Amino acid sequence: MDKFKDSSLPVAERVADLLPRLSLEDKAGLMFHEIAPMLPGGNLLPPGLPWGVATETLIREKRITHFNVHGVPEKGSEMAAWHNKLQTIAAEVGLGVPVTISTDPRHSFSENQGALFSAGAFSQWPESMGLSALCIDDPHGLELVEKFGDIARQEYRAVGIHAALHPQIDLATEPRWCRAGMTFGEDAKVSGAVGAAYIRGFQGKNFGKNSVSTMTKHFPGGGPQLNGEDPHFAYGKEQVYPGNNFDYHVEPFKDAIAAGTRQMMPYYGQPIGTKYEEVGFGFNKGVLTDLLKGQLGFEGVICTDWGLITDANILGQDMPARAWGVEHLTREDRIRKALNAGVDQFGGESCPELIVDLVRAGKVDEARIDLSAAKLLAEKFILGLFDEGRFVDEAAADKIVGNAEFRAVGEAAQRAGIVKLKLAESGPASLPLAAGLKVYVEGITLENAALIGEVVASPAEADLAIIRKAAHYDPRPGGFEALFHAGSLEYPADEVARIVEICHTVPTIFDIYLDRAAIFPEIAEAAAAVTANFGANPLAFIYVLKNPALAKGRLPIELPSSTAAVLASKSDVPYDTVAPLFAYGAGL
């Protein structure tokens, strides 16, 4: 008899056959979803390094079979080779349960370990808010989002990625929150519709061996963070609801469940002032069992966000476990509380021995472990990992990943996602740009600027200035913490004065990359034209300058007019700052 039973049989029968033949150690290993770095050339993390356990050790000794890949490949074939090495090792361990590989978003412009990765070999698209910008009052935008998911699905499966640690459908109702750019904005209805299209693209019409399983996050909605700080860090652990708007943040998750999302990730934050226990959502039975499973009917896998149980060092920075509200508990008791809350899997952790010890000490029933293990095995069976989908074609990966067709669609989406906020009616800054202009540029290479006109060294020499700039943030210390763009939304006064002076010297087009909201009223007033992007390469931007009809985006967040307006707004309420500089949905 095949050790994994006939692939033509129902998945439930195959799971029922395999589960009792697994050891307790095997089942506990299924419940951990650890990071696995991919080294250059598609090599595995070896033993003996001070900053991580060897990936092979995690498979052979810890029996872990779910990995979140870190590292951006130079070639699809390298990543495929890395995946096949893992599967070869896993096939030699115990009954040979295959490995499931997941990833954070990989089609982006930004790079933030633990949140998203730049595209590398993959096709490059606008980031999440850029996709959403195409869907405000435009159903055709949803078709593009689904197309993105389908392309990403093909690229993922070509290199052996089976699960997406996204979409992120939190609502960006707190303008200062550093993870707003990874959301679909602050409107619940739009975010739910975009999230559902995204899921359909990744998972396909029928979830199966060619699908990518989506882990939607972060239930019941991150975003309304106290002072806009993020709960990766202790100072941001509190989620607050001054507008009594908890239910609004749950709305997009209803759409994700209806679309068939297979997995769900709760956030780190602890709710303050609600009917729920004031502990992190990964430990919160009222939120996960009563609300998510009971009221919303979700039956899939629940995986915690990364690092709820064990203290760690990330990029040289000591990080306490994000066990907010239960910091006083031992690691064993944190696991017990999370299991009791309804968690099936622990992200960013590699301590299955704690579950084994809890079961053998009679503190956790093995039947509870079987419940989660069965869900996780079923996912592997449906994805085809026990069958022909276990290994991928390394040569074919290079033909699929980042191919010309996929790149062209992604670049068209970059152009379309640009938002025209203010346009010049006449003069050198009016669009489309005239030929033969003398141009002063910032944020564009001289080579690319030469496609616009004759590049000059100063605004005084120019007919037109073009400034591309990212939204402001206050740099934070530490290796990991420094990756999060938080703090003030306003540029320093001297930088504002410098840009305004340029605008007064020569007609200026100001383009701002928004990975969260920004406050720049003086610049917006002084500039002849203002555009916003959510990830658009220089050529995409230049194409829009020459053919402005290509840009169709609308703002998925409002841009406040002042810090005072942000401080007076409610963190859980959408588009509620007084007299915004640009309102939600703005776009010419």
Q: Which residues have a catalytic role annotated?
A: 305
Strands (E), 198-257: 213-219, 238-240
**Amino acid identity at 331:** R
- Cα(first)–Cα(last) distance of the chain, in Å? 65
- Rounded CA-CA distance 373/405 in Å is 39
- If DSSP codes are grouped into helix, strand and coil, which group holds residue 189? helix
DSSP string covering 54-97, please?
-HHHHHHTT---EEEEES--SSHHHHHHHHHHHHHHHHTSTT-P
* Paired residues of 127 in beta bridges: none
CA dihedral 436, 437, 438, 440 (to 10 degrees): -140
Tokens linked to 551: 């840009």
Buried b (16+ CB within 10 A) or exposed e, 556-581: bbbbbbbeebbeebbbbbbbbbeebb
Tokens linked to 280: 């992190």
**Nearest by Cα to 175 from 451, 579, 575, 578:** 575
The CA radius of gyration of the chain, in Å to the nearest whole number, is 24
Tokens linked to 285: 């039975």
Give Cβ neighbours of residue 395 (< 8 Å, ≥ 6 apart): 77
User: β-pairing, 529-533 with 317-319?
Assistant: unpaired
Give Cβ neighbours of residue 249 (< 8 Å, ≥ 6 apart): 170, 171, 173, 188, 220, 221, 223, 224, 572
- Rounded CA-CA distance 165/438 in Å is 46
| CB-CB contact of 24 with 63 (8 Å) | no
| CB-CB contact of 569 with 584 (8 Å) | no
| CB-CB contact of 169 with 256 (8 Å) | yes
SS3 assignment for 318-338: EECCCCCCCCCCCHHHHHHHH
* Paired residues of 112 in beta bridges: 116
Q: Which one-letter DSSP state was computed for residue 294? A: I
**Amino acid identity at 31:** M
- If DSSP codes are grouped into helix, strand and coil, which group holds residue 347? strand
